Amino acid sequence: MSNLLELEDIRKSFPSPAGGRIDILNGISLSLLPGEVVAIIGKSGSGKSTLLSIAALLSFPESGKVYYSGRDTSSLKEKEVAALRSRIGFVFQSSQLLADFSALENTAMPLMIQGKSKEEAFSEARKFLSMVGLEKREMHRSAELSGGEKQRVAIARALAGNPVVVFADEPTGSLDEKNAASTEEILLSAVNETGHPMLLVTHNMAFAEKADRVLELREGRLNALGC
Ligand SMILES: Nc1ncnc2c1ncn2[C@@H]1O[C@H](COP(=O)(O)OP(=O)(O)OP(=O)(O)O)[C@@H](O)[C@H]1O
Ligand SMILES: [Mg+2]
């Protein structure tokens, strides 16, 4: 089975306000298989969001390679990268929905970016809103949704674009415990149902343990938990 996503010796540092640079990622390698859910844990500031943003092609490493389905993304043309980005689902800690748009319009957005007609995109988006239990909220604008509902729309939006990979960066970090637990269940069951692989960052060990593998980011390196 070929790896859908492969990171090879990723390195990243940032300038330090005191001068010099701080190494954040010191040679990260990781493979994600089709349908696999991998959780990454690590202390605040260890570089989890930096790693996810590089893997999702939202930022670039200083060195190292990101491969999607065996293709080195650094050799892709801008147009090819844009097409690949439209097939990457991202759920952030705060939902980042478009405020003036309805739950349905937000969910349909990736489909319309992919060139589907409005009708087709809406019909497809409705399936995903119903998967996250929000079929009765489709006309609500973002401001008219609760925190948990917003995250559920963000999950529906991430899955609607038929993503190659789903990235979730502390997707329930902004929710209270009860809401977080139910949103975690919804995310995991939706990802299982659609069969998309997911790279998940969480502080919540109980959530991480539901993944196929748990990796810890420490001192710029990624290791199996406990190593
Ligand atoms: N654009 C930037 N410029 C300078 N330093 C940065 C930048 N982005 C991140 N950093 C630094 O890189 C380190 C890792 O940040 P990152 O956001 O990846 O951590 P994290 O593991 O996601 O933390 P948290 O659990 O708090 O979300 C931090 O020390 C941060 O200050
Ligand atoms: Mg982070």
- CATH number, domain of 197, equals 3.40.50.300
Determine the Cα–Cα distance for residues 58 and 82; give it in Å rounded to an integer. Answer: 10
The minimum-distance atom of ligand 1 relative to the CA of 170 is 27
Among the ranges given (93-97, 134-138, 141-145, 186-190), the one the predictor scored with the smallest mean pLDDT: 93-97
86 lines ligand 1 (CB under 6 A): no
What's the mean pLDDT when you consider all of the chain?
A: 94
Q: What is the pLDDT of residues 135-181, one digit of tens each?
A: 999 999 999 999 999 999 999 999 999 999 999 999 999 899 999 99
Residue 226 domain flag: no
Residue 108 domain flag: yes
Structural contact between residues 81 and 27, judged by C-beta atoms closer than 8 angstroms: no
Residue 166 domain flag: yes
Residue 227 domain flag: no
Candidate from 48, 52, 200, 201 with most ligand 1 atoms within 8 A of CB, to mutate: 48
Residue 119 domain flag: yes
From atom 13 of ligand 1, which residue's Cα is the shortest distance away?
45
**Residue 95 confidence class, pLDDT cut points 50, 70, 90:** confident
Spatial CA neighbour of 172 closest among 207, 198, 144, 199? 207
In this structure, which long-range contacts are made by residues 140-147, counting pairs with CB atoms below 8 Å and at least 24 apart in sequence? 140/102, 140/103, 141/99, 141/100, 141/101, 141/102, 141/103, 142/95, 142/97, 142/98, 142/99, 142/100, 142/101, 142/103, 142/106, 143/99, 145/97, 145/103, 147/174, 147/175, 147/179
Q: Is the pLDDT of residue 1 over 70?
A: no
Residue with tokens 């959530």: 207
Determine the Cα–Cα distance for residues 65 and 211; give it in Å rounded to an integer. Answer: 25
The minimum-distance atom of ligand 1 relative to the CA of 52 is 18
The CA 19 to ligand 2 mean position distance, Å, reads: 23
pLDDT (average), residues 92-105? 92
Model confidence, pTM: 0.94
Determine the Cα–Cα distance for residues 163 and 155; give it in Å rounded to an integer. Answer: 12
**Residue 227 confidence class, pLDDT cut points 50, 70, 90:** low
The CA 5 to ligand 2 mean position distance, Å, reads: 20
The CA 13 to ligand 1 mean position distance, Å, reads: 10
pLDDT (average), residues 113-121? 95
16 lines ligand 1 (CB under 6 A): no
Determine the Cα–Cα distance for residues 162 and 89; give it in Å rounded to an integer. Answer: 8
Residue 80 domain flag: yes
**Residue 226 confidence class, pLDDT cut points 50, 70, 90:** low
Structural contact between residues 32 and 5, judged by C-beta atoms closer than 8 angstroms: yes
The CA 173 to ligand 2 mean position distance, Å, reads: 10
202 lines ligand 1 (CB under 6 A): no
Q: Which domain holds residue 200?
A: 5-221
pLDDT (average), residues 51-75? 96
- Give the Cβ contact number of residue 49 at 10 Å: 17
Determine how β-strand 5-15 pairs with β-strand 21-32.
Answer: antiparallel
44 lines ligand 1 (CB under 6 A): yes
Q: Is the pLDDT of residue 38 over 90?
A: yes
Residue 188 has phi, psi (to 5 degrees) of: -65, -40
Which ligand has an atom closest to residue 44 CA? 1
Q: For the chain, how many structural domains are there in total? A: 1
